[in-house]
């Protein structure tokens, strides 16, 4: 599914990605930014917010590894697990409601898998507010995750 909130948002495309032979593998996440302190996992629009938050946090000495899931079924949990083993912290970010969300599934899989033993703190979820999507722009901005919310969640996960 595509996010209509991404319509009109420009982003860079490599020459390779613009070729006719380019194919994105289904079920394979992409590490958008390497980091050592915390793993940020997102899909769709929140990936851009995570990259912005990682830039803000890097100025404070916190290096975030940003993972773009690209697909949620199948989900590349192996990439997430490897990152959590490396960073020892996990923050998931999604635009949907907290209940039954992608972030909840990622947290469950990490807690049920081998990476759980590497976590130094509980995983933190950043989600949309549990309300119907409002029409007014200011209310919409307050009901979906913003960069400031991700920065706050990372600091909470790292206890700083």
Domains and CATH numbers, the chain: 25-134+143-158 (3.40.50.920)
Mean pLDDT of all residues in 117-126: 98
Task: Indicate the pLDDT class of residue 38, thresholds 50, 70 and 90.
Answer: very high
Q: Are 143 and 131 in contact (CB under 8 A)?
A: yes
- When pLDDT is averaged across residues 31-47 and rounded to a whole number, the result is 97
Half-sphere exposure of 119 (CA within 13 A, CB side): 19
Give the residue from 73, 66, 134, 123 showing the smallest Cα distance to 98.
123
Give the CA distances from residue 93 to residues 49, 141, 150, in Å, rounded to whole numbers and listed in that order: 9, 15, 8
pLDDT at position 84: 98
Q: Work out the percent of the chain whose per-residue pLDDT is above 90.
A: 84
What would the pLDDT profile of 4-37 be if each residue is shown by its tens digit? 778 888 888 889 888 999 998 899 999 999 999 9
Q: Each residue of 59-99: pLDDT tens digit?
A: 999 999 999 999 999 999 999 999 999 999 999 999 999 99
The answer to whether the pTM exceeds 0.85 is yes
């Amino acid at each position: 599914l595509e996010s209509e909130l991404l319509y009109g948002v420009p982003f860079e495309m490599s020459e390779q990605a613009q070729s006719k032979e380019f194919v994105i593998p289904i079920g394979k996440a992409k590490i958008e930014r390497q980091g050592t302190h915390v793993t940020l996992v997102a899909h769709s629009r929140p990936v851009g917010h995570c990259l912005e938050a990682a830039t803000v946090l890097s100025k404070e000495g916190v290096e975030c590894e940003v993972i773009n899931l690209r697909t949620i079924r199948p989900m590349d949990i192996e990439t997430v697990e490897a990152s959590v083993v490396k960073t020892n912290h996990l923050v998931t970010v999604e635009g949907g409601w907290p209940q039954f969300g992608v972030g909840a599934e990622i947290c469950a899989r990490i807690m049920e898998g081998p990476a759980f033993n590497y976590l130094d703190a509980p995983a933190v979820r950043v989600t949309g507010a549990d309300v119907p999507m409002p029409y007014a722009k200011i209310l919409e901005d307050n009901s979906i995750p913003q960069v400031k919310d991700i920065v706050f969640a990372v600091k909470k996960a790292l206890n700083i």
